[in-house]
Structure 1
Amino acid sequence: MAAMQNITVRGVALCDKKRAGNVHVELYEKDVLDPHDLLNDTHTNLQGEFKLYGEQDELGTIEPFIRLTHNCKAKPGCMRVGDYVVPTDKLGGVYDMTYVPLDIVVSGEGEQCI
């Protein structure tokens, strides 16, 4: 039987140890066979802070992750895209990522260039 599950994620995006404003932050629910479900999105404020809430009615346990799109240490005309897993033991509560250093490459990170 499907159950409504939720998560709140917050943190502060940093670039070279400075707070990074206007970073695009998306909260997704991972799906294996279908496209990932976008639960919510926002941009960091001028202090680099973000907070997102999302919920999903799912048969199993949801697998949320955060996607950050930014230009920290990116090539000219490009944006870096990094995914960060949200621990499932934080479901139903708040996952505080504290500081997210955007200058450090994360596993599976991609790049979008125009």
Structure 2
Amino acid sequence: MKIYFFTILPFLFVYVGSFGIGIQQSAGVKGTLLCNGKPYANVKVKLYDDDMGIDTDDFMSEGKSDSLGRFAVAGYAYEFGTIDPKINIYHDCNDEIMPCQRKITVFIPKKYVSKGETPESYYDAGNIELAGEFKGEERDCIH
């Protein structure tokens, strides 16, 4: 019986956040997206709680950059520990003919995590120039 309990224990923690169990925590991030120094409009930005192991990342929110390249996203998730917020940015800057989109990830410092549904403050990611290559950059066709 003891072995059975320790076998399922990790899976309980994986699925607990999916059912709204845990501490409700929020995060927000804002910034400006540029492509070759010009504002980059209509770029999809998704906010996630980054989860490790077999647990999939928890989707928190999404938005798009405006005509000036500005974006702001905020959302919340349930976790027993502190959430690990990140944004994924999906774009075609300098990449229009390649299949799928470039995906870069920006992690949000934990000091911008708040308790509750609404973040107390937003992390300002500043100007993000998408023309260059980013460490850990990937391609994503389904997002």
TM-score (norm 1): 0.91
**Compared CA separation, residues 45 and 75, structure 1 to 2 (3 A):** closer
Larger RCO: 1 or 2 (CA < 8 Å, sep 6+): 1
1:95 corresponds to which letter in structure 2? Y
1:108 corresponds to which letter in structure 2? G
* Pairing 1:90–2:90 present: no
Higher helix proportion: 2
Higher strand proportion: 1
Q: Which residue of 1 aligns with 2:22?
A: 2
* Pairing 1:26–2:19 present: no
Listed as ranges, the matches of 1:15-54 within 5 Å are 15-32=35-52, 33-54=54-75
Gaps of 5+ in 2: 1-20, 115-120
Q: 2 CA distance for matches of 1:75 and 1:46? A: 19
Rg larger in 1 or in 2?
2
Q: Which residue of 1 aligns with 2:86?
A: 65
Q: Deviations over 1:49-76 (max 9, x none)?
A: 1111111111001001000000002151
2:102 corresponds to which letter in structure 1? R
What SS does structure 1 have at the residue aligned with 2:56?
coil
Q: 2 CA distance for matches of 1:9 and 1:112? A: 22
Listed as ranges, the matches of 1:96-111 within 5 Å are 96-111=124-139
Size of the aligned set, in residue pairs, is: 113
Aligned-residue RMSD, C-alpha: 1.6
1:110 corresponds to which letter in structure 2? E
What SS does structure 2 have at the residue aligned with 1:45?
coil
Q: How far did residue 112 of structure 1 move? A: 3.8
Q: 2 CA distance for matches of 1:14 and 1:44? A: 10
Q: How far did residue 46 of structure 1 move? A: 0.9
TM-score (norm 2): 0.73
* Pairing 1:56–2:77 present: yes
What SS does structure 2 have at the residue aligned with 1:84?
strand
Match of 2:97 among 76, 80, 89: 76
What SS does structure 1 have at the residue aligned with 2:94?
coil
